[in-house]
Amino acid sequence: MFDLKKYRKKSPWILHYNAGSCNGCDIEILASLAPKYDLERFGVINTGNPKQSDIFLVTGPVTYRSRERLVELYTQMPEPKVVIAVGSCSCTGGVFRDMVNVEDGVDRYIPVDVYVAGCATSPELIIDGVVKALEILEQKTKEMEKPLKLFREATLENSIVNRRHTALKVGEKDEEN
């Protein structure tokens, strides 16, 4: 039968989110999309629109303020999707690990498929990571993957929906139990 799945890895569209990164990895991502490394030869487009993208590239150690946006962007992406944590910070927290304002990596909030190490990581490694992610993307189903930290209810303040604290803090769920 005509298999649509094999076309997934031929046109991966990228959403790039900076979760409090120092911009080192962002520059490397842009370098890998630019003419020298030319990720576009694999059909990659940097869409910047979560509703039309397949690969979620996250840089940065996920600061306290950016975690809600991270989860929201992740839930706005249609299935199938893969997440790549780019750089040491987004893998483990890097040099910012255990700091007050830092949540120690992306995988505390959303399921990560590929970890790309390095501070800052190199364009070659990012391309390797994207190619590896394409293999995973081909295996995925259209079933919904849930972010690890689920949303709280959005609060209503002065008849304005407030989403500021919709994501749970790390360990907050355990405290409640």
Stretch 80-99: interaction string toward other proteins, x if CB under 8 A: x-------------------
Q: Residue 108 gets which letter from DSSP?
A: G
Per-residue DSSP letter, 29: H
Q: Which of 23, 40, 135, 150 touches other proteins (CB under 8 A)?
A: 40
Cα–Cα distance measured from residue 44 to residue 129, given in angstroms and rounded to the nearest whole number: 13
Residue 11 interacting with other proteins (CB under 8 A) = yes
Q: Is 41 in the site for other proteins (CB under 8 A)?
A: yes
Contact 50, 15 (CB under 8 A): yes
Shortest reach from residue 24's CB to other proteins, in Å: 20
Note whether 79 binds other proteins by CB under 8 A: yes
Single out the segment in contact with other proteins by CB under 8 A; choices: 48-56, 66-74, 88-96, 158-166. 48-56
Q: Does 161 bind other proteins (CB under 8 A)?
A: no
CA distance 21 to 34: 20
Interface with other proteins, residue 147, by CB under 8 A: no
What is the DSSP code (8-state) at residue 97? T
Q: Which of 24, 27, 31, 42 binds other proteins (CB under 8 A)?
A: 42
Quick one: which segment of 47-55, 83-91, 145-153, 155-163 binds other proteins (CB under 8 A)? 47-55
Six token digits for residue 172: 């907050």
23 binds other proteins, rule: CB under 8 A: no
Strand partners, 112: none
Contact yes or no for 54/137 (Cβ under 8 A): yes
Closest CA to 93 of 73, 69, 67, 126: 67
CA-to-CA distance for 105 and 94, rounded, in angstroms? Answer: 8
* DSSP β-ladder status, 160-162 and 155-157: antiparallel
Q: Does 69 bind other proteins (CB under 8 A)?
A: no
Residues that bind other proteins (CB under 8 A): 4-5, 7-8, 10-11, 35-36, 38, 40-43, 47-49, 51-52, 54, 76, 78-80, 142
